[in-house]
Structure 1
Amino acid sequence: MRVVLGILGALVVGGIFSSVLRTLVIPRPTRSGFTRAVQTTVRWAFQMPADRFTSAEVKDRVLAPAASVAILMTLVGWLACFMIGYGLLEAAVSGLGATAALREAGSSMFTLGFASSEHADLTAIDFCAAATGPITIGLQIGYLPALYGAYQRRETEVTLLQARTGSPPWGPQILARYAQVGIIDSIGELFRGWERWSAEVSESHTTYPILIHFRSPKANRNWLVAMLAVMDAAALRLALNPSCPQAEVRMALRAGYVCLREIADVRGIPYDRDPSPDGPVSVTYEDFLQGLARMADQGYSAERTPEEAWPDFRGWRINYEAVAYRLAYDIDAVPAPWSGPRRTAEAIIVPDTPVDRRPVARS
């Protein structure tokens, strides 16, 4: 029986140690079953009441703490499992009862020192337990600045996009806004910035998957919806104005769907790696015409007719639409035009666009 307890204890300690390494230390996308199970359970506890509401603002308030609570509960789960694992090892080595073994393991792990025994063969286990508790807590504390630094860098660009195009962002509205203020020729700067942003998000959100569920400070903003809007704007620009400079636009579009696919790989979301350009998309031709009408109202000049541009737009969008829609559904992003369905039936929020107040010339 003591041998079985020892094996179980070693497996628990080793497994949780592996989970800590995969989550906090190894700087590359690695999957920890324990971490994922804890965080999924916590998010489910928040998602269940959120699904009872149809208001995007109310759902955002309910879901906002979920990711932070998931991080805290992961730490609690690690410490609890370490204590159980060391308790099993101590029971196996010394023959202590379950209560006494857990008491000594907890006293050692949290360096409280209120429980000790006269068994010399427990010393090595006590020392290991005493090191494990502070190291795990220290690693978690060190993990938070990297996590929140990546979050702040992500949200800076999302906020800038709101100032430029409105919120929630929408692909046609981006081009319409740039045309409205007469800076459409400088839109390449936007796409260059979002190419780099996509690369940073790809790196941070695959290394720290919990970032996917960190919500924006405002209910009508969301990193995924912003990314989808920029990609749609790029696809529209390529389809409507083929003679304009394409390097920045195409690189931003490619960086966007590569980012989405890498996040999908980490989350185990299946997708077609080589979709047919002639395949169907959820955005209909009528939706496409509505977007073009919005752009034309603000003075956007297109080289192609809608009939000529539609096949190209559809061919670009099919590369990222399915993955973006699935992620938007999973994280319950703010409902926005051309961003797919949500977990509950919600009205699409029409973008709130900033209005320029220009001085009137006086005679």
Structure 2
Amino acid sequence: MRPLLGVIGALAVLGVFSSVVRTLVMPRPSSSGFTRVVLATLFVPFQLLADRCSSVERKDKVLAPVAPLSLLVTLVLWLLSFLVGYALLEAAVSDLGVKAALDEAGSSLFTLGFASSNRSALTAVDFCAAATGPIVIALQIGYLPALYSAYAAREAEVTLLQSRSGSPPWGPEILARYSQAELLDSLDQLFSNWERWAAQVNESHTTYPVLIQFRSARATRNWMVSLLSVLDAAALSLAFNPSRRPQTPARMALRAGYVCLRDLADVRGIPYSADPMPDDPLDLDYGSFLEGVERMRQQGFPMERTPEQAWPHFRGWRVNYENLAYRLAYDIDAVPAAWSGSRRTPSVILRPTTPKDRQPAAR
């Protein structure tokens, strides 16, 4: 039995080391089944409780702790797995019983030093265990600033969008408010900012997938819904005003946005069509499209094409990102905003409030 215990212990230690390295050290997308299972398992009871909440605010409060809590639970389970693995190795190279092996492994792993042996085989395992505990804890501590820095960078642009589109954001509302404030020339800057934002989120959220589950500070704000609204604004701008120049920022924002969504889908194992056809079906219907167009028209957004002419062009852009955006918004139970798909439970679609543009009186 001792060789078998040694093999099982070595596999346990090496497997957990692999999970730690993939999660905390490798600066590239690298899937760790251990952390995925921890997050998914922890998510279930919170989601079941959130499904019983009647308001968006209560649901958000229930789901907000899941991702941060998963970091703590993952660390604890890593250490416990190391404890078991090293205890099995201790038992394999000595005549220690289960309790004595756990005592010796725990004493070394957590650097307590209350149980030790002068046998060379045990001492070697003790040294490895003693190095493992501080290294894993230090890596986790160093991991948190990088994680929260990426989160803060993501949320800064999401918060800025609130003044441009209201909360929750909506693609037609962005164009309507820019037109209302006579800032249409600044749309290119918005699209350029979100092109860079999409690239940064792509890099950070594929490297640290737990960020996908981190929620915004307000229940009516959400990074996925914000990205979808900007992509819709870019698609609407291109569909209605083909002669407007330059068109590059809107096109590049769309490209960066759906590339980001596809890379996130790859990390989460979500299937998608890599080359959708412009006439593939959409969940967004023409009637909902007209509601958005009417909001834009009310604020004087210029339109070279009629809605009937613009619809095929708009759907040709939206087919690239709609399914993935809807699936991710469903998975993270994002705020039920307009044009963002269905949710786990029936929800009232929230729309941004219409602002009154009050300007100082002329003197």
Question: AA paired with 2:12?
Answer: V
2:256 pairs with 1:269: no
Partner Cα distance (2:35, 2:290) in 1: 45
Shift of 1:52: 1.2
Counterpart position of 2:342: 341
Question: Does 2:301 correspond to 1:300?
Answer: yes
Distance 2:174 2:168 in 1: 11
Kindly provide the CA deviation profile for residues 255-300 of structure 1, in whole angstroms up to 9, marking residues without a partner as x: 0000000000000000111111011111111111110100011111
Q: Which residue is equivalent to 1:289?
A: 290
Q: Give the Cα separation in 1 of the matches to 2:216 and 2:89.
A: 44
Identity rate of aligned residues, in percent? Answer: 67
Does the 8 A contact of 1:2 with 1:95 survive in 2?
no
Q: 1:128 to 1:354 in 2, by over 3 A?
A: farther
1-structure distance, mates of 2:170, 2:205? 23
Tell me which amino acid in the other structure corresponds to 2:160: L
Partner of 2:321: 320
Q: Which amino acid aligns with 2:213?
A: H
Q: CA deviation at 1:353?
A: 4.4
In 2: Cα distance, 1:185 partner to 1:343 partner: 39
Shift of 1:355: 3.4
**Equivalent AA in structure 1 for residue 288 of structure 2:** D
**Range 101-110 or range 35-44, more displaced:** 35-44
Partner of 1:113: 113
**Larger deviation, residues 190-199 vs 275-284:** 275-284
State the match for 1:90 in structure 2.
Answer: 90
Report deviation, 1:357: 1.8
Q: Identify the residue that residue 222 of structure 1 maps to in structure 2.
A: 222
The correspondence of residues 140-289 of structure 1 with structure 2, limited to 5 A, is 140-244=140-244, 245-289=246-290
The alpha-carbon deviation at position 95 of structure 1 amounts to: 1.7
Q: Number of paired residues?
A: 362
Find the aligned partners of 1:356 and 1:78 in 2 and give their Cα distance.
55
Query: Aligned equivalents of 1:268 and 1:288: distance in 2?
Result: 30
CA distance in structure 1 between the aligned counterparts of 2:74 and 2:355, rounded to whole angstroms: 41
Q: Is the 8 A contact 2:117 2:123 kept in 1?
A: no
**1:352 Cα shift?**
2.8
TM-superposed CA distance for 1:317, in Å, is 0.3
Instruction: Indicate conservation of the 8 Å contact 2:225/2:329, yes or no.
Output: yes
Query: What residue in structure 2 maps to residue 30 of structure 1?
Result: 30
Question: Could you say what secondary structure the match of 2:93 adopts?
Answer: helix
In the alignment, what sits opposite 1:67? Answer: 67
Distance 1:137 1:47 in 2: 29
Assess if the C-alpha contact under 8 Å between 1:64 and 1:214 holds in 2: yes
The one-letter code of the counterpart of 1:10 is A
**1:16 alignment counterpart:** 16
Give the Cα–Cα distance (whole angstroms) in 2 for the partners of residues 355 and 265 of structure 1: 43
TM-score of the superposed pair, with normalisation by structure 2: 0.98
1:125 aligns with: 125
Distance 1:361 1:279 in 2: 52
Q: Deviations over 1:189-210 (max 9, x none)?
A: 0000000000000000000000
Could you tell me which amino acid in structure 2 is paired with residue 159 of structure 1?
T
Q: What are the Cα deviations for residues 218-248 of structure 1, in whole angstroms up to 9, with x where unaligned?
A: 0000000000000000000000000112100
Residue matched to 1:104? 104
Which segments of 5 or more consecutive residues in structure 2 lack a partner in the other structure?
none
CA contact (8 A) 1:54 1:344 kept: no
The structural deviation recorded for 1:354 is: 4.1
Q: Deviations over 1:67-119 (max 9, x none)?
A: 00001100011000000000000000012101110111001000001112343
**How many angstroms apart in 2 are the aligned matches of 1:153 and 1:354?**
27
Give 1:361 shift.
3.5
Q: Does 1:350 align with 2:351?
A: yes
Residue aligning to 1:41 = 41
Aligned to 2:6: 6
What is the alpha-carbon distance in structure 2 between the residues aligned to residue 255 and residue 282 of structure 1? 22
Deviations 1:165-191 (A, max 9, x none): 211000000000000000112210000
Cα RMSD for the two superposed structures: 0.9
Distance in 1 between residues matched to 2:86 and 2:235, nearest whole Å:
56
In structure 1, the gaps of 5 or more residues are none
Q: C-alpha distance in 2, partners of 1:101/1:47?
A: 39
Distance 1:11 1:62 in 2: 37
The CA deviation at 1:360 is 2.8
